[in-house]
Amino acid sequence: MRPTVSRISGEGILRMDPLSRRRLSKRAAAFSTATAILIALAACSSSSSSPSSSGSTSAAAVSTGSASSGAVAEANAAVTKALTTPTSITQTTPLGSKVPSGKSIIFVSNGLAATERIATGVHEAADAIGWSYSEIHFDAANPATLESALLTALAKKPSAVAEAGSPQSTFGTSTIAAYKAANVPIILGSVAPITLGDPIYGTPAGAASEQVVGKDLADWFIANSDGKGKALLENYTSAPVLNVFRDAFIAEVKALCPDCSTLVVPVTQADVDAGTLITKVIAAARRNPSYKYIFFDNGQFADGILSALSSAGLSGLIIGGRSIDPYGKEAIAAGTEAVWTGQSYYAQGEAIVDVALRTLLGAPGSSNDDVIPTQLVTKANVSEMTGQFYNFPTSSLEQYEKLWGVPVTACKLTCS
């Protein structure tokens, strides 16, 4: 049974590694806009309505005509590929220059579990290249504290500053101007829309990653339902990154499975704070008994769904979604949930350092970091996750070190 939680993080981790626990003790957890992105993908046809961003209890349905056996076969082939455990990072271009010494990077963090795992990746990568590392925390619920944290970081005269999840629009024009004047880059992960250019650079695990994740999950849904499925798709509209995932899922379903239907259940941070997110999903399931799949756009949002379904007298529903957490891992192993996507936050942190290096040196290849390796996790491969957290490729740090031309070191922080 999964506990119900009222606050979320990128993967919703309630049991965390010791380093993250020590860091999180510095700050009360409040869900950030972590991984906030918005890209317009594949506009819905006139027969479908757009998902609401108001957070109302109404849901937006997207349905189409009849799936061909060829389309289902295409989805099956995509699933087979997505089930393969990643072994290589997406960066392939050697740095081409010597890593500059005596530099520093500061990570501006909201203190949440997923963000702190990104920070851990940044920390370990910084250690690997001989840079000093530090963190400054802010309150994700109060944008003014983010601006203050960024200015505090800048006052320490770092070589680069990194942040993950907060919309670029919340930084403040004066803050961005101050960074530009100081010639200090801000490296962003999990952010969109993003306007790249001095001083904003990135973005690992941004929109391109979310498009891959949304498509992969949609392919699994199409294949598993043999082209006839109906899915409830919970959509946390307060984080635009998840709108990218939502749109990619819908676009793939429309393209390959016109006989499938997707019913979007919009929720907001207010629903998370009030503990009504699961209630809204259950209500949608009651109103739509023919919808046998429930997908969540964040692993922690599903914490409590199994007990809630049981209490509501609902059964026979297939549960899964984006961003596996420890409970999702346990549920898949137990056969009570079916599928989750996985992406390593540690690898995202390492990619942020790679972008920082390439930015400072004017080296090519930053866009190779945009998509962090992803995977579908099901009963067939969940046993490969030997730790609590999804962390593939397990050799990501070593692969980056070879591209940077620095000694290959054994991981100390990211493999705990």
Nearest to residue 62, comparing CAs of 225, 222, 305, 259?
A: 259
**How far apart, in whole angstroms, are the C-alpha atoms of residue 278 and residue 59?**
14
pTM as predicted: 0.79
pLDDT of residue 194: 87
**How far apart, in whole angstroms, are the C-alpha atoms of residue 96 and residue 86?**
25
Query: Does domain 42-85+208-343 correspond to CATH entry 3.40.50.2300?
Result: yes
CA 284 centroid distance within chain: 25
Q: Where are the domains of the chain?
A: 42-85+208-343
pLDDT of residue 252: 98
**What pairs with residue 55 in β-bridges?**
none
AA identity, residue 278: I
Compute CA distances 246 → 59, 88, 149, 243, 252, whole Å: 13, 26, 31, 5, 10
Determine how many CB atoms are found less than 10 A away from the CB of residue 116. 32
Q: Which structure tokens are listed for 44?
A: 């819905």
pLDDT averaged per 10 residues in sequence order, the chain, 416 residues:
35 36 37 34 33 36 59 96 97 97 96 88 98 94 90 98 90 96 96 90 93 98 97 89 93 96 93 92 98 94 95 97 94 98 96 98 96 97 92 96 96 84
- Specify the DSSP element, H or E, that contains 29: none
Compute CA distances 384 → 59, 74, 88, 329, 391, whole Å: 36, 25, 16, 11, 10
Q: Which structure tokens are listed for 129?
A: 């290249």
pLDDT of residue 393: 96
Is 204:234 a contact under the CB 8 Å cutoff? no
* Crossing angle of helices 113-128 and 396-404, rounded to 10°: 40
**What pairs with residue 201 in β-bridges?**
187
**How far apart, in whole angstroms, are the C-alpha atoms of residue 62 and residue 51?**
9
Determine how many CB atoms are found less than 10 A away from the CB of residue 335. 8
Question: Which residue shows structure tokens 């695990």?
Answer: 205
